[in-house]
Structure 1
Amino acid sequence: MYAQYVRSADHARQLRQDAGRWLRSCREARAMTQRDLAERVGLRYYTFISQIEGGHGRIPPDQYEAWAIALDIEPRDFAKSMLRYYDPFTFRLLFPEEMAVSA
């Protein structure tokens, strides 16, 4: 069951924080500020970037492509990475071979 896989709210929070760290490293590798990324993604406020990177929110799936383009990452690879953090249950079902590598 899904509830068994997502162990707790703490586990979900940890995954969001891990996603935030990954996103920050992608942004910083491209020498972009949070403000730069917000502009490229089409956000009015860069504080949303800060919230995401701090693990206090999630990127809505309908924005994955915009973020991928802004960060110069293949959209499919970006979506796959977000799935790993935001929905590990589905990620495990779709990419079981990668779970063994990342464990």
Structure 2
Amino acid sequence: MEPEKRGKAAGVDNPKARLTKELRKQAGKWLSARREAAGMTQAQLAEQVGYRYYTFVSQVEGGHGRVPSEHFEQWADCVGVPHQEFARQLLRFYEPDVYRLLFPGDGGLPA
């Protein structure tokens, strides 16, 4: 497949795909900052949450993955963020349309 067609098929030229990618990166930065503020390494967080490999934390912080919703509470506890705040922030990054519907006066997309 030609690179041009491959890019379009992968959603590279899709504005929504670009936004999703950018929001995942922002989420990763937010998560990394919370972890560092808690004085934890990626390996320590992975162990506390129950992941076999710290590389999963690295992937999430790099914007290449998402924190599974079933792990929000554990992750929030590890980094010292209240559960609701943690879930709200990740909803803002991971599902901006849903966030906007639930919190219409909050400005929607993260800065």
Q: Map of 1:1-103 to 2, 5 A cutoff?
A: 7-99=15-107
Q: Which residue type is aligned with residue 39 of structure 1? A: E
Report the aligned-residue RMSD: 1.8
Q: Which amino acid aligns with 2:76?
A: A
Distance 1:82 1:101 in 2: 11
State how far apart, in whole Å, the 1-side matches of 2:108 and 2:42 are. Answer: 33
Q: Is the 8 A contact 2:96 2:109 kept in 1?
A: no
Q: Which has the larger radius of gyration?
A: 2
**Change over 3 Å in CA distance of 1:98–1:21 after alignment to 2:** same
Runs of 4+ in 1 over 2 A off after TM superposition: 100-103
Distance 2:43 2:64 in 1: 18
Query: How many pairs does the alignment contain?
Result: 98
TM score, norm. by length of structure 1? 0.88
TM-score when scaled to structure 2?
0.82
Identity %: 48
Amino acid of the structure 2 residue aligned with 1:85: F
Unaligned runs of 5+ in 2: 1-13
